[in-house]
């Protein structure tokens, strides 16, 4: 009918701004390439939105590492503690025990001392449960926030992201704050502390079994990536020889307005109501902390315009952050997605028709596909930089990937793979293998079929102990 055709046209009009063309993705890649260079420069770094932070990691693992290590991971609402034993056997056996501690909202928004006391308490409980309190083990600390790393054991927090806003931490050495919290307890001690960003840990974790891995990428609560850069281009660190891993902090891409032409009205609203407006614009278009809210805002406007639910809004749909990103994953399940959608809409208190469920699935698919395409464009930029740095026509590399969105979204990597393959067109010829960074699974050197349901579950903190090897 005419009404149905009009409805379809209106829905398509809402979603059109999220549908980025190949030409636009190539333009995004070109803009990011310029920002990478700005971030590496000694004089241009301080104004660069993509910070390109030196990590002081000069090589990837060679597989001969062994020993006992502790690992801590802080980067979301859960904090993880692990004891990892690497045994020198043919299969490089990894034995792990772990514990997860929740981080209450009041601690996420409290003082730095409260946060690090909580971390130290969790670590103490874990050491007690594992009968490790008498030992002084080296510790890898994965701290997944933008930091200026001054050494492997000294890292200054630049700013909080991902919902954290603890006072008295920005501008301070987080390794020192952790050690001080442990010292205040006085009931255990730790050895060498190696600070590592989660992207670096992911790259090192994957690289332990695949020496071709020179890029690490996170698509989870936030998004970020690292890669191996030529030392001669790292202008803020002395030395010309060899390579160093650079933590790009690409979540800040667009903070200077360079992405304004692809930012939608819904992205603007998400940014405006976040705890850090104007910061990490690229991350807010991609990551799990924000995707659900973008979908909710689209559904709210469609409902107000009589395109969904007969124009009737429920209290849940009206409430910010009530449409969690995990619902997108459930809605986009290939086999059960439509049934899941109907259950979710009922739970949200909405009076829906079958066509409403189909439109909601389309909205979720469109927004998560944009996330995948933007990640693909950014990853293509890093891969092409490595290739051109080495003056190669063809680069074979492996990308270590982790994060809850990567692991739990059922179809995200189909558009990601497709756009990665074509994003640079004839400008580059390369082979990227996406390698889940889980040390609880068997990693191998063969290409992984992206989007399959065989990706293993993974505790992020399993990556951090590689930094102390």
Q: Kindly report, residue by residue over 163-191, the tens digit of the pLDDT.
A: 899 999 999 999 999 999 999 999 999 98
261 is an active site residue: no
Same domain, 148 and 286: no
What is each CA distance from 424 to 22, 27, 29, 378, in whole angstroms? 9, 10, 8, 11
Last residue of one domain, picked from the residues 180, 198, 216: 198
Question: pLDDT tens for residues 256-272?
Answer: 999 999 999 999 999 99
Q: What is the percent of the chain with per-residue pLDDT over 70, rounded to a whole number?
A: 85
Residue 465 within a domain: no
Q: Which of 51, 73, 117, 162 is catalytic?
A: 162
Lowest pLDDT segment from 2-11, 204-213, 398-407: 2-11
Count of structural domains within the chain: 2
Same domain, 362 and 217: yes
Q: Which of 117, 153, 173, 198 is catalytic?
A: 198
Residue 115 binned pLDDT confidence (cut-offs 50, 70, 90): very high
Same domain, 157 and 133: yes
Question: Which helix H or strand E contains 207, and what residues bound it?
Answer: helix 198-207
Last residue of one domain, picked from the residues 163, 178, 198: 198
Residue 51 dihedral angles phi and psi, to the nearest 5°: -75, -25
Last residue of one domain, picked from the residues 174, 198, 222: 198
The pTM score is 0.81
Quote the pLDDT of residue 427.
43
Query: Positive or negative, the Cα torsion across 74, 87, 455, 375?
Result: positive
Check if the beta carbon of residue 337 is closer than 8 Å to that of residue 361: yes
314 vs 201 pLDDT, higher one: 314
393 is an active site residue: no
Angle of the 354-389 helix axis to the 22-40 helix axis, nearest 10? 50
**438, pLDDT greater than 50:** no
Q: What is the CATH number of the domain that holds 36?
A: 3.40.367.20
Quote the pLDDT of residue 462.
32
- Cα distance from N-terminal residue to C-terminal residue, the chain: 66
Residue 62 within a domain: no
Same domain, 164 and 300: no
Q: What is the CATH number of the domain that holds 118?
A: 3.30.420.40
**Nearest CA-CA partner of 203 in 215, 218, 211:** 215
Instruction: State CA 96 to chain mean position distance.
Output: 23
**18, pLDDT greater than 80:** yes
Same domain, 194 and 213: no
Residue 311 within a domain: yes
Question: pLDDT tens for residues 337-346?
Answer: 999 999 999 9
Quote the pLDDT of residue 449.
24
Residue 206 binned pLDDT confidence (cut-offs 50, 70, 90): confident
Same domain, 318 and 185: no
Mean pLDDT, the chain, integer: 84
Quote the pLDDT of residue 467.
33
Same domain, 287 and 416: yes
Residue 61 within a domain: no
Same domain, 193 and 211: no
Residue 115 within a domain: yes
Same domain, 6 and 100: no
Quote the pLDDT of residue 436.
56
Beta bridge partners of 70: 83, 139
Beta bridge partners of 98: 82
**93, pLDDT greater than 70:** no
Tell me the residue range of the domain where 43 lies.
2-54+207-459
């Amino acid at each position: 009918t005419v009404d149905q055709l009009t409805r379809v046209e209106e829905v398509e009009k809402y979603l059109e701004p999220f549908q980025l063309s190949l030409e636009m993705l190539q333009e995004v890649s070109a803009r990011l390439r310029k920002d990478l260079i700005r971030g590496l420069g000694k004089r241009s770094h301080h104004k660069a939105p993509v910070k390109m932070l030196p990590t002081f990691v000069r090589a990837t693992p060679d597989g001969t590492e062994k020993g006992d290590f502790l690992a801590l991971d802080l980067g979301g609402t859960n904090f993880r503690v692990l004891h990892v034993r690497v045994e020198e056997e043919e299969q490089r056996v990894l034995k792990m025990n772990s514990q997860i501690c929740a981080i209450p909202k009041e601690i996420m928004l409290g003082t730095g001392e409260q946060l690090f006391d909580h971390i130290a308490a969790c670590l103490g409980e874990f050491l007690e449960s594992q009968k490790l309190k008498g030992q002084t083990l080296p510790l890898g600390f994965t701290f997944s926030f933008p930091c200026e790393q001054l050494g492997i054991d000294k890292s200054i927090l630049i700013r909080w992201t991902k919902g954290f806003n603890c006072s008295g931490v920005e501008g301070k050495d987080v390794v020192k704050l952790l050690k001080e919290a442990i010292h205040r307890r006085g009931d255990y001690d730790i050895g060498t502390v190696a600070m590592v960003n989660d992207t670096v840990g992911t790259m090192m974790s994957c690289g332990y079994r695949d020496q071709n891995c020179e890029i690490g990428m996170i698509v989870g609560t936030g998004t970020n990536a690292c890669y191996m850069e030529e030392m001669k281009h790292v202008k803020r660190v002395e030395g010309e020889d060899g390579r160093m891993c650079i933590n790009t902090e690409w979540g800040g891409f667009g903070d200077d307005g360079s992405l304004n032409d692809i930012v939608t009205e819904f992205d603007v609203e998400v940014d405006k109501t976040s705890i850090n407006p104007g910061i990490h614009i690229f991350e807010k278009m991609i990551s799990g902390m924000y995707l659900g809210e973008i979908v909710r805002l689209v559904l709210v406007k469609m409902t107000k315009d009589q395109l969904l639910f007969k124009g009737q809004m429920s209290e849940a749909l009206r409430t910010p952050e009530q449409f969690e990103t995990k619902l997108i994953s459930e809605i986009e399940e290939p086999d059960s997605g439509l049934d899941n959608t109907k259950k979710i809409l009922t739970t949200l208190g909405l009076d829906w028709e079958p066509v409403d469920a189909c439109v909601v699935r389309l909205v979720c698919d469109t927004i998560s596909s944009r996330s995948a395409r933007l990640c693909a464009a950014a990853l293509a930029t890093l891969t092409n930089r490595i290739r051109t740095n080495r003056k190669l026509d063809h680069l074979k590399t492996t990308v270590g990937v982790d994060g809850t969105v990567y692991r739990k979204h059922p179809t995200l990597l189909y558009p990601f793979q497709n756009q990665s393959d074509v994003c640079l067109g004839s400008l580059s010829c390369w082979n990227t293998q996406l390698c889940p960074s889980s040390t609880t699974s068997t990693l191998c050197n063969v290409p992984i079929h992206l989007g399959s349901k065989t990706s293993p579950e993974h505790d992020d903190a399993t990556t951090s102990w590689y930094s102390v090897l």
